[in-house]
Amino acid sequence: MTFRVGLRDIVLLPGLITVFLIVSFRYFAWVVDDLYIYFRYVENFVSGYGIVFNRGEHVEGFSSFLWFAWLALCRSAGADLETVAKYSSLSLAVLNILLVQILSLRILPGRLAIAAPVLTMFCLPYVIWAVSGFELMLFIFLLLLAVLILSNENSGAIALAGSAFVLFLLTVTRPEGILFAICLIYYALFTTGNRRRLRLPLLIYLTLTSVFFGFRLAYFGDVFPNTYYAKIGHGIFGDYEARSYKNGVLYFIFFLKDNPQFIPGLIFAFVVLIRYRSERLLMMLSLMLICQLAFITFAGGDWMVQHRFAVPAIPLLALLTAGLLAKLSRGRELAGAVTAALLCAVSAASLVFGDKSVIERETILWNNVKVVAPSMGSIIGPGKVAASGACGIIPYFLRDVTVIDMVGLTDRTIAKEGYRSGMWFERAMPEYVYSKDPQFLIMWKKKDENGVYRFKYAAPVYEEMSKDPGFEDFELAKSYDVLSDVVIEIYKRRDG
Protein backbone atom coordinates (compact mmCIF):
# COMPACT_ATOMS: atom_id res chain seq x y z
CA MET A 1 0.00 0.00 0.00
CA THR A 2 1.38 3.42 -0.95
CA PHE A 3 0.42 6.77 0.46
CA ARG A 4 1.15 10.42 -0.17
CA VAL A 5 1.23 13.35 2.16
CA GLY A 6 0.32 16.59 0.41
CA LEU A 7 0.76 20.10 1.74
CA ARG A 8 -2.97 20.58 1.93
CA ASP A 9 -3.17 17.50 4.20
CA ILE A 10 -0.81 19.00 6.75
CA VAL A 11 -1.59 22.69 6.42
CA LEU A 12 -3.18 22.78 9.89
CA LEU A 13 -0.33 21.04 11.64
CA PRO A 14 2.13 23.96 12.03
CA GLY A 15 -0.49 26.09 13.78
CA LEU A 16 -1.73 23.24 15.95
CA ILE A 17 1.80 22.22 16.91
CA THR A 18 2.55 25.84 17.82
CA VAL A 19 -0.43 25.83 20.18
CA PHE A 20 0.75 22.50 21.60
CA LEU A 21 4.20 23.96 22.27
CA ILE A 22 2.74 27.04 23.95
CA VAL A 23 0.63 24.82 26.22
CA SER A 24 3.58 22.52 26.93
CA PHE A 25 5.90 25.37 27.96
CA ARG A 26 3.42 26.28 30.68
CA TYR A 27 4.54 23.10 32.45
CA PHE A 28 8.21 23.17 31.49
CA ALA A 29 9.31 23.84 35.09
CA TRP A 30 7.62 20.63 36.28
CA VAL A 31 10.18 17.99 37.18
CA VAL A 32 10.08 14.49 38.64
CA ASP A 33 12.73 13.55 41.21
CA ASP A 34 13.52 10.24 39.49
CA LEU A 35 14.79 12.09 36.41
CA TYR A 36 17.85 13.09 38.42
CA ILE A 37 18.70 9.42 38.94
CA TYR A 38 19.61 9.39 35.25
CA PHE A 39 21.68 12.52 35.78
CA ARG A 40 23.74 11.04 38.62
CA TYR A 41 24.46 7.96 36.49
CA VAL A 42 25.45 10.17 33.56
CA GLU A 43 27.77 12.35 35.66
CA ASN A 44 29.50 9.27 37.05
CA PHE A 45 29.83 7.80 33.58
CA VAL A 46 31.32 10.87 31.91
CA SER A 47 33.67 11.23 34.90
CA GLY A 48 35.06 7.78 34.15
CA TYR A 49 33.47 5.78 36.98
CA GLY A 50 31.29 3.60 34.75
CA ILE A 51 27.53 3.19 34.60
CA VAL A 52 27.02 3.43 38.35
CA PHE A 53 24.90 5.28 40.88
CA ASN A 54 27.47 4.71 43.63
CA ARG A 55 31.03 4.21 42.53
CA GLY A 56 31.88 0.52 42.26
CA GLU A 57 28.22 -0.65 42.43
CA HIS A 58 27.01 -1.95 39.07
CA VAL A 59 23.23 -1.66 39.41
CA GLU A 60 21.01 -0.52 36.53
CA GLY A 61 18.86 1.89 38.52
CA PHE A 62 17.09 3.50 35.55
CA SER A 63 14.42 2.17 33.18
CA SER A 64 15.84 3.18 29.80
CA PHE A 65 19.36 2.30 28.74
CA LEU A 66 18.93 4.11 25.43
CA TRP A 67 17.80 7.31 27.14
CA PHE A 68 20.77 7.08 29.50
CA ALA A 69 23.10 6.67 26.50
CA TRP A 70 21.60 9.71 24.77
CA LEU A 71 21.92 11.88 27.87
CA ALA A 72 25.50 10.69 28.40
CA LEU A 73 26.36 11.61 24.81
CA CYS A 74 24.86 15.08 25.26
CA ARG A 75 26.60 15.59 28.60
CA SER A 76 29.92 14.60 27.04
CA ALA A 77 29.34 17.44 24.57
CA GLY A 78 28.85 19.86 27.48
CA ALA A 79 25.05 20.09 27.53
CA ASP A 80 23.05 20.86 30.66
CA LEU A 81 21.28 17.63 31.53
CA GLU A 82 17.84 18.89 32.53
CA THR A 83 17.69 21.23 29.55
CA VAL A 84 18.69 18.59 27.01
CA ALA A 85 16.41 15.96 28.56
CA LYS A 86 13.36 18.21 28.45
CA TYR A 87 13.98 19.63 24.97
CA SER A 88 14.77 16.17 23.59
CA SER A 89 11.54 14.82 25.03
CA LEU A 90 9.53 17.74 23.65
CA SER A 91 11.15 17.44 20.21
CA LEU A 92 10.28 13.76 20.08
CA ALA A 93 6.71 14.62 21.12
CA VAL A 94 6.45 16.83 18.03
CA LEU A 95 7.90 14.09 15.81
CA ASN A 96 5.33 11.71 17.26
CA ILE A 97 2.56 14.09 16.22
CA LEU A 98 3.92 14.09 12.67
CA LEU A 99 4.04 10.28 12.65
CA VAL A 100 0.46 10.15 13.93
CA GLN A 101 -0.60 12.41 11.05
CA ILE A 102 1.16 10.22 8.49
CA LEU A 103 -0.41 7.06 9.89
CA SER A 104 -3.79 8.76 10.19
CA LEU A 105 -3.71 9.67 6.49
CA ARG A 106 -3.23 6.00 5.68
CA ILE A 107 -6.31 5.14 7.71
CA LEU A 108 -8.49 8.14 6.97
CA PRO A 109 -7.42 10.11 3.85
CA GLY A 110 -8.72 13.64 3.80
CA ARG A 111 -9.39 16.48 6.20
CA LEU A 112 -10.66 14.30 9.05
CA ALA A 113 -7.19 12.74 9.37
CA ILE A 114 -6.21 15.72 11.50
CA ALA A 115 -8.42 14.37 14.31
CA ALA A 116 -5.79 11.83 15.40
CA PRO A 117 -2.98 14.39 15.92
CA VAL A 118 -5.43 16.71 17.71
CA LEU A 119 -6.53 13.93 20.08
CA THR A 120 -2.87 13.12 20.74
CA MET A 121 -1.38 16.55 21.32
CA PHE A 122 -4.27 18.13 23.23
CA CYS A 123 -4.36 15.52 25.95
CA LEU A 124 -3.07 16.59 29.36
CA PRO A 125 -1.02 13.43 30.09
CA TYR A 126 0.68 13.73 26.69
CA VAL A 127 1.43 17.43 27.25
CA ILE A 128 2.85 16.85 30.72
CA TRP A 129 5.05 13.91 29.82
CA ALA A 130 6.23 15.66 26.66
CA VAL A 131 8.17 18.07 28.89
CA SER A 132 9.09 15.53 31.58
CA GLY A 133 12.57 14.80 30.26
CA PHE A 134 11.87 11.06 30.52
CA GLU A 135 12.11 8.41 27.81
CA LEU A 136 8.37 8.07 27.14
CA MET A 137 8.34 10.17 23.96
CA LEU A 138 11.31 8.19 22.59
CA PHE A 139 9.45 4.95 23.29
CA ILE A 140 6.36 6.24 21.47
CA PHE A 141 8.47 7.48 18.55
CA LEU A 142 10.15 4.11 18.03
CA LEU A 143 6.85 2.24 18.41
CA LEU A 144 5.06 4.38 15.82
CA LEU A 145 8.03 4.20 13.45
CA ALA A 146 8.08 0.40 13.69
CA VAL A 147 4.35 0.24 13.00
CA LEU A 148 4.74 2.61 10.05
CA ILE A 149 7.37 0.40 8.43
CA LEU A 150 5.94 -3.03 9.21
CA SER A 151 2.34 -2.16 8.35
CA ASN A 152 3.42 -1.51 4.76
CA GLU A 153 3.54 -4.90 3.04
CA ASN A 154 5.57 -3.38 0.21
CA SER A 155 8.44 -2.24 2.41
CA GLY A 156 11.77 -2.98 0.77
CA ALA A 157 14.72 -4.91 2.15
CA ILE A 158 16.42 -1.78 3.49
CA ALA A 159 13.26 -0.61 5.25
CA LEU A 160 12.73 -4.03 6.82
CA ALA A 161 16.34 -4.16 8.00
CA GLY A 162 15.78 -0.70 9.44
CA SER A 163 12.67 -1.94 11.24
CA ALA A 164 14.79 -4.59 12.96
CA PHE A 165 17.09 -1.88 14.28
CA VAL A 166 14.10 0.21 15.38
CA LEU A 167 12.63 -2.77 17.24
CA PHE A 168 15.97 -3.34 18.94
CA LEU A 169 16.06 0.30 20.07
CA LEU A 170 12.47 -0.10 21.30
CA THR A 171 13.59 -3.11 23.33
CA VAL A 172 16.35 -1.16 25.09
CA THR A 173 14.22 1.95 25.64
CA ARG A 174 11.92 0.45 28.26
CA PRO A 175 11.66 -3.00 29.90
CA GLU A 176 8.26 -3.67 28.28
CA GLY A 177 9.68 -2.79 24.85
CA ILE A 178 10.56 -6.41 24.20
CA LEU A 179 6.87 -7.33 24.54
CA PHE A 180 5.93 -4.91 21.77
CA ALA A 181 8.82 -6.01 19.57
CA ILE A 182 7.98 -9.71 19.87
CA CYS A 183 4.31 -9.03 19.15
CA LEU A 184 5.11 -7.00 16.03
CA ILE A 185 7.60 -9.60 14.79
CA TYR A 186 5.13 -12.42 15.39
CA TYR A 187 2.35 -10.60 13.56
CA ALA A 188 4.61 -9.69 10.63
CA LEU A 189 5.87 -13.27 10.28
CA PHE A 190 2.44 -14.86 10.24
CA THR A 191 0.67 -12.34 8.03
CA THR A 192 3.30 -11.99 5.30
CA GLY A 193 3.05 -14.09 2.18
CA ASN A 194 6.81 -14.24 1.65
CA ARG A 195 8.44 -14.96 4.99
CA ARG A 196 11.91 -15.21 3.46
CA ARG A 197 12.16 -11.45 3.20
CA LEU A 198 11.83 -11.26 7.00
CA ARG A 199 14.68 -13.65 7.75
CA LEU A 200 17.41 -11.00 7.64
CA PRO A 201 15.49 -8.46 9.76
CA LEU A 202 14.72 -11.19 12.30
CA LEU A 203 18.38 -12.22 12.40
CA ILE A 204 19.46 -8.60 12.87
CA TYR A 205 17.01 -8.09 15.73
CA LEU A 206 17.88 -11.33 17.52
CA THR A 207 21.63 -10.67 17.17
CA LEU A 208 21.48 -7.12 18.48
CA THR A 209 19.12 -8.03 21.31
CA SER A 210 21.20 -11.04 22.36
CA VAL A 211 24.37 -8.94 22.44
CA PHE A 212 22.69 -6.25 24.53
CA PHE A 213 21.17 -8.67 27.04
CA GLY A 214 24.52 -10.42 27.26
CA PHE A 215 26.17 -7.09 28.07
CA ARG A 216 23.47 -6.24 30.63
CA LEU A 217 23.84 -9.59 32.35
CA ALA A 218 27.65 -9.35 32.39
CA TYR A 219 27.82 -5.72 33.52
CA PHE A 220 24.83 -5.39 35.83
CA GLY A 221 24.17 -9.02 36.73
CA ASP A 222 20.47 -8.94 35.82
CA VAL A 223 18.27 -9.56 32.78
CA PHE A 224 16.04 -6.53 33.42
CA PRO A 225 16.78 -3.10 34.91
CA ASN A 226 16.80 -2.98 38.71
CA THR A 227 13.82 -0.61 38.54
CA TYR A 228 11.71 -3.47 37.21
CA TYR A 229 12.41 -5.60 40.27
CA ALA A 230 11.93 -2.63 42.62
CA LYS A 231 8.63 -1.40 41.17
CA ILE A 232 7.06 -4.58 39.80
CA GLY A 233 9.08 -7.72 40.46
CA HIS A 234 6.18 -9.98 41.42
CA GLY A 235 5.01 -13.40 40.20
CA ILE A 236 2.03 -14.29 38.04
CA PHE A 237 -0.33 -15.97 40.48
CA GLY A 238 -1.21 -15.13 44.07
CA ASP A 239 -3.24 -12.75 46.22
CA TYR A 240 -0.83 -9.85 45.80
CA GLU A 241 -0.72 -10.41 42.05
CA ALA A 242 -4.52 -10.47 41.82
CA ARG A 243 -4.75 -7.18 43.71
CA SER A 244 -2.03 -5.72 41.50
CA TYR A 245 -3.90 -6.71 38.34
CA LYS A 246 -7.08 -5.16 39.73
CA ASN A 247 -5.20 -1.94 40.44
CA GLY A 248 -3.81 -1.96 36.92
CA VAL A 249 -7.29 -2.23 35.43
CA LEU A 250 -8.55 0.55 37.72
CA TYR A 251 -5.55 2.67 36.74
CA PHE A 252 -6.59 2.58 33.08
CA ILE A 253 -10.23 3.14 33.94
CA PHE A 254 -9.25 6.32 35.80
CA PHE A 255 -7.26 7.39 32.74
CA LEU A 256 -10.40 6.97 30.63
CA LYS A 257 -12.43 8.82 33.24
CA ASP A 258 -10.11 11.81 32.87
CA ASN A 259 -9.86 11.37 29.09
CA PRO A 260 -13.24 10.00 27.87
CA GLN A 261 -12.46 11.00 24.28
CA PHE A 262 -10.52 7.74 23.95
CA ILE A 263 -13.33 5.39 24.92
CA PRO A 264 -14.62 5.00 21.31
CA GLY A 265 -11.10 4.18 20.11
CA LEU A 266 -10.70 1.56 22.83
CA ILE A 267 -13.99 -0.11 21.90
CA PHE A 268 -13.08 0.01 18.21
CA ALA A 269 -9.76 -1.78 18.92
CA PHE A 270 -11.70 -4.88 19.99
CA VAL A 271 -14.01 -4.52 16.98
CA VAL A 272 -10.91 -4.57 14.78
CA LEU A 273 -9.73 -7.82 16.38
CA ILE A 274 -13.09 -9.40 15.52
CA ARG A 275 -14.23 -7.83 12.24
CA TYR A 276 -11.28 -6.11 10.53
CA ARG A 277 -8.41 -8.55 10.98
CA SER A 278 -7.45 -8.19 7.33
CA GLU A 279 -6.65 -4.48 7.79
CA ARG A 280 -2.98 -4.68 8.66
CA LEU A 281 -2.39 -1.21 10.12
CA LEU A 282 -5.49 -1.26 12.31
CA MET A 283 -4.58 -4.75 13.53
CA MET A 284 -1.06 -3.64 14.47
CA LEU A 285 -2.39 -0.62 16.34
CA SER A 286 -4.91 -2.80 18.18
CA LEU A 287 -2.26 -5.34 19.13
CA MET A 288 0.09 -2.61 20.38
CA LEU A 289 -2.74 -1.23 22.49
CA ILE A 290 -3.38 -4.70 23.92
CA CYS A 291 0.33 -4.94 24.79
CA GLN A 292 0.21 -1.62 26.64
CA LEU A 293 -2.94 -2.61 28.51
CA ALA A 294 -1.32 -5.93 29.44
CA PHE A 295 1.75 -4.12 30.78
CA ILE A 296 -0.36 -1.67 32.79
CA THR A 297 -2.36 -4.54 34.28
CA PHE A 298 0.75 -6.56 35.14
CA ALA A 299 2.51 -3.53 36.63
CA GLY A 300 -0.52 -2.59 38.70
CA GLY A 301 -0.45 0.96 37.42
CA ASP A 302 1.96 3.63 38.58
CA TRP A 303 2.26 6.32 41.26
CA MET A 304 3.41 9.19 39.04
CA VAL A 305 1.01 11.96 38.02
CA GLN A 306 -1.14 12.04 34.89
CA HIS A 307 -1.23 8.35 34.09
CA ARG A 308 2.39 7.87 32.95
CA PHE A 309 1.94 4.24 31.89
CA ALA A 310 -1.12 5.12 29.79
CA VAL A 311 0.72 7.78 27.75
CA PRO A 312 2.06 5.36 25.08
CA ALA A 313 -1.55 4.28 24.51
CA ILE A 314 -2.63 7.84 23.62
CA PRO A 315 -1.44 7.94 19.97
CA LEU A 316 -2.62 4.35 19.49
CA LEU A 317 -6.09 5.23 20.74
CA ALA A 318 -6.09 8.39 18.62
CA LEU A 319 -5.24 6.41 15.49
CA LEU A 320 -7.85 3.77 16.27
CA THR A 321 -10.34 6.60 16.65
CA ALA A 322 -9.32 7.65 13.14
CA GLY A 323 -10.13 4.10 12.04
CA LEU A 324 -13.56 4.39 13.63
CA LEU A 325 -14.13 7.71 11.87
CA ALA A 326 -13.17 6.10 8.57
CA LYS A 327 -15.85 3.46 9.04
CA LEU A 328 -18.45 6.04 10.10
CA SER A 329 -17.63 8.27 7.13
CA ARG A 330 -18.37 5.65 4.50
CA GLY A 331 -21.42 7.10 2.83
CA ARG A 332 -22.04 9.25 5.92
CA GLU A 333 -19.34 11.89 5.83
CA LEU A 334 -21.32 14.20 8.10
CA ALA A 335 -21.52 11.53 10.80
CA GLY A 336 -17.74 11.16 10.78
CA ALA A 337 -17.18 14.93 10.85
CA VAL A 338 -19.60 15.46 13.74
CA THR A 339 -18.09 12.58 15.73
CA ALA A 340 -14.57 13.93 15.15
CA ALA A 341 -15.58 17.43 16.23
CA LEU A 342 -17.25 16.13 19.40
CA LEU A 343 -14.27 13.99 20.40
CA CYS A 344 -11.81 16.83 19.76
CA ALA A 345 -14.00 19.13 21.84
CA VAL A 346 -14.01 16.63 24.70
CA SER A 347 -10.22 16.35 24.41
CA ALA A 348 -9.80 20.12 24.57
CA ALA A 349 -12.15 20.34 27.56
CA SER A 350 -10.20 17.63 29.39
CA LEU A 351 -6.99 19.56 28.76
CA VAL A 352 -8.39 22.90 29.90
CA PHE A 353 -10.43 21.75 32.88
CA GLY A 354 -8.37 18.75 34.02
CA ASP A 355 -7.07 18.80 37.58
CA LYS A 356 -3.58 20.31 37.58
CA SER A 357 -3.22 20.85 41.33
CA VAL A 358 -0.81 17.93 41.81
CA ILE A 359 1.32 19.13 38.89
CA GLU A 360 1.50 22.62 40.39
CA ARG A 361 2.34 21.19 43.81
CA GLU A 362 5.13 18.99 42.44
CA THR A 363 6.56 21.88 40.43
CA ILE A 364 6.95 23.93 43.60
CA LEU A 365 8.17 20.99 45.69
CA TRP A 366 10.91 19.64 43.46
CA ASN A 367 12.19 23.05 42.43
CA ASN A 368 12.47 23.93 46.12
CA VAL A 369 14.40 20.69 46.66
CA LYS A 370 16.75 21.74 43.85
CA VAL A 371 17.41 24.95 45.76
CA VAL A 372 18.19 23.36 49.15
CA ALA A 373 19.94 20.17 47.98
CA PRO A 374 23.37 21.74 47.23
CA SER A 375 23.56 23.14 50.79
CA MET A 376 23.16 19.63 52.21
CA GLY A 377 26.75 19.02 51.20
CA SER A 378 27.86 21.20 54.11
CA ILE A 379 26.33 18.63 56.48
CA ILE A 380 26.91 15.41 54.55
CA GLY A 381 30.47 15.77 53.35
CA PRO A 382 32.34 13.90 50.61
CA GLY A 383 33.07 10.27 51.36
CA LYS A 384 30.17 9.90 53.78
CA VAL A 385 27.38 7.31 53.58
CA ALA A 386 23.76 8.49 53.63
CA ALA A 387 20.43 6.69 53.24
CA SER A 388 17.69 8.44 51.30
CA GLY A 389 14.20 7.59 50.09
CA ALA A 390 14.14 10.17 47.30
CA CYS A 391 17.22 9.31 45.26
CA GLY A 392 17.09 11.80 42.42
CA ILE A 393 17.77 15.47 43.08
CA ILE A 394 19.47 15.25 46.48
CA PRO A 395 21.94 12.45 45.59
CA TYR A 396 22.70 14.25 42.31
CA PHE A 397 24.00 17.24 44.26
CA LEU A 398 25.84 14.92 46.69
CA ARG A 399 27.78 13.05 44.02
CA ASP A 400 30.75 12.30 46.30
CA VAL A 401 28.47 10.72 48.89
CA THR A 402 27.57 7.02 48.83
CA VAL A 403 23.76 6.92 48.90
CA ILE A 404 21.75 3.91 50.05
CA ASP A 405 18.43 3.95 48.24
CA MET A 406 15.80 3.13 50.90
CA VAL A 407 13.21 2.06 48.30
CA GLY A 408 15.60 0.00 46.18
CA LEU A 409 15.53 1.65 42.76
CA THR A 410 19.33 1.69 42.76
CA ASP A 411 19.87 -1.07 45.33
CA ARG A 412 19.67 -4.68 44.16
CA THR A 413 19.06 -6.22 47.59
CA ILE A 414 16.07 -4.02 48.49
CA ALA A 415 14.65 -4.30 44.97
CA LYS A 416 14.54 -8.09 45.18
CA GLU A 417 14.15 -8.80 48.89
CA GLY A 418 12.45 -5.71 50.30
CA TYR A 419 8.80 -5.73 51.32
CA ARG A 420 5.92 -3.44 50.40
CA SER A 421 3.43 -1.77 52.71
CA GLY A 422 0.10 -3.01 51.35
CA MET A 423 -0.12 -2.17 47.64
CA TRP A 424 2.37 0.71 47.82
CA PHE A 425 4.77 0.58 44.87
CA GLU A 426 7.95 1.25 46.81
CA ARG A 427 9.77 -1.37 48.84
CA ALA A 428 11.39 -1.06 52.26
CA MET A 429 14.04 -3.02 54.16
CA PRO A 430 15.13 -0.96 57.20
CA GLU A 431 17.26 -3.64 58.86
CA TYR A 432 19.32 -3.95 55.67
CA VAL A 433 19.72 -0.16 55.36
CA TYR A 434 20.96 0.13 58.94
CA SER A 435 23.30 -2.83 58.40
CA LYS A 436 25.08 -0.73 55.76
CA ASP A 437 26.13 1.68 58.54
CA PRO A 438 24.86 4.97 57.12
CA GLN A 439 26.19 8.05 58.87
CA PHE A 440 23.18 10.13 57.80
CA LEU A 441 19.49 9.57 57.09
CA ILE A 442 17.59 11.86 54.73
CA MET A 443 13.97 11.58 55.84
CA TRP A 444 10.75 13.28 54.78
CA LYS A 445 7.70 14.29 56.82
CA LYS A 446 4.29 15.59 55.83
CA LYS A 447 1.61 17.22 58.00
CA ASP A 448 -1.38 15.18 59.06
CA GLU A 449 -4.92 16.55 59.40
CA ASN A 450 -3.94 18.12 62.75
CA GLY A 451 -0.93 19.92 61.32
CA VAL A 452 1.59 17.55 62.92
CA TYR A 453 4.53 16.42 60.77
CA ARG A 454 4.63 12.62 60.46
CA PHE A 455 6.83 10.22 58.55
CA LYS A 456 4.02 7.95 57.38
CA TYR A 457 2.24 10.75 55.55
CA ALA A 458 5.31 11.34 53.40
CA ALA A 459 5.87 7.68 52.40
CA PRO A 460 5.65 4.27 54.13
CA VAL A 461 9.42 3.76 53.94
CA TYR A 462 10.09 6.67 56.33
CA GLU A 463 7.65 5.27 58.86
CA GLU A 464 9.32 1.86 58.59
CA MET A 465 12.78 3.39 58.98
CA SER A 466 11.70 5.41 62.06
CA LYS A 467 10.20 2.34 63.77
CA ASP A 468 13.34 0.25 63.41
CA PRO A 469 15.57 0.16 66.54
CA GLY A 470 18.44 1.45 64.43
CA PHE A 471 16.77 4.86 64.23
CA GLU A 472 17.49 5.42 67.93
CA ASP A 473 21.18 5.86 67.05
CA PHE A 474 20.42 9.03 65.06
CA GLU A 475 19.65 12.60 66.03
CA LEU A 476 18.20 15.49 64.04
CA ALA A 477 20.89 17.64 62.44
CA LYS A 478 19.01 19.88 60.04
CA SER A 479 15.48 20.49 58.75
CA TYR A 480 14.39 22.05 55.45
CA ASP A 481 10.94 23.38 54.62
CA VAL A 482 10.28 22.48 50.98
CA LEU A 483 6.51 22.92 50.89
CA SER A 484 3.88 24.36 53.18
CA ASP A 485 3.23 20.89 54.60
CA VAL A 486 6.44 19.00 53.78
CA VAL A 487 9.87 19.03 55.43
CA ILE A 488 13.10 17.18 54.78
CA GLU A 489 15.05 16.21 57.87
CA ILE A 490 18.67 15.12 57.99
CA TYR A 491 19.55 12.81 60.87
CA LYS A 492 23.15 12.25 61.91
CA ARG A 493 24.41 9.14 63.69
CA ARG A 494 25.39 10.04 67.21
CA ASP A 495 28.75 8.32 67.05
CA GLY A 496 29.41 9.87 63.63
Q: Is residue 354 part of a domain?
A: no
Q: Which domain holds residue 468?
A: 359-493
Kindly tell me if the per-residue pLDDT of 423 is higher than 60: no
* Prediction pTM value: 0.95
- Does residue 41 lie in a domain region? no
368 and 486 share one domain:
yes
Q: Is residue 37 part of a domain?
A: no
Indicate whether 307 and 333 sit together in one domain: yes
Please check whether residues 290 and 438 belong to one and the same domain: no
Radius of gyration of the chain (CA): 24
pLDDT at 4: 52
Could you tell me if 299 and 385 lie in one domain?
Answer: no
**Helix, strand, coil percentages for the chain (3-state, nearest 5):** 60, 10, 30
Domain end call among 287, 311, 346: 346
Do 341 and 376 reside in the same domain of the chain? Answer: no
Q: Is residue 165 part of a domain?
A: yes
What is the per-residue pLDDT for 420? 85
Same domain, 22 and 124: yes
265 part of a folded domain: yes
- The predicted structure's pLDDT at residue 31: 95
Mean pLDDT, residues 230-244 taken together = 89
Q: Dump pLDDT digits (tens) for 23-32.
A: 999 999 999 9
What are the CA-CA distances from residue 88 to residues 68, 122, 315 (Å)? 12, 19, 19
Residues 306 and 372 in one domain: no
Could you give the residue ranges of the DSSP H alpha helices within 300-404? 313-328, 333-353, 357-372, 393-397
Residues 304 and 441 in one domain: no
Do 153 and 253 fall within a single domain?
A: yes
Indicate the residue among 294, 324, 346 that finishes a domain.
346
In a domain, 126, yes or no: yes
Give per-residue pLDDT as tens, 446-488: 999 999 999 999 999 999 999 999 999 999 999 999 999 999 9
Provide the CATH number for the domain around residue 392. Answer: 3.40.50
Domain annotation covers residue 101: yes
Same domain, 324 and 387: no
Same domain flag for 201 and 124: yes
Q: Which pLDDT does position 1 carry in this prediction?
A: 41
How many Cβ atoms from other residues are within 10 Å of residue 32's Cβ? 19
Of the residues 320, 346, 372, the one at which a domain ends:
346
CA distance linking residue 5 with residue 459, whole number of Å: 51
**Spatial separation of the C-alpha atoms in residues 101 and 118, rounded to whole Å:** 9
Whether residue 373 sits in one domain with residue 244: no
Domain count, the chain: 2
Q: How far apart are CA 395 and CA 398, in angstroms?
A: 5
**pLDDT, tens digit, 9 for 90 and up, residues 373-396:** 999 999 999 999 999 999 999 999
In a domain, 97, yes or no: yes
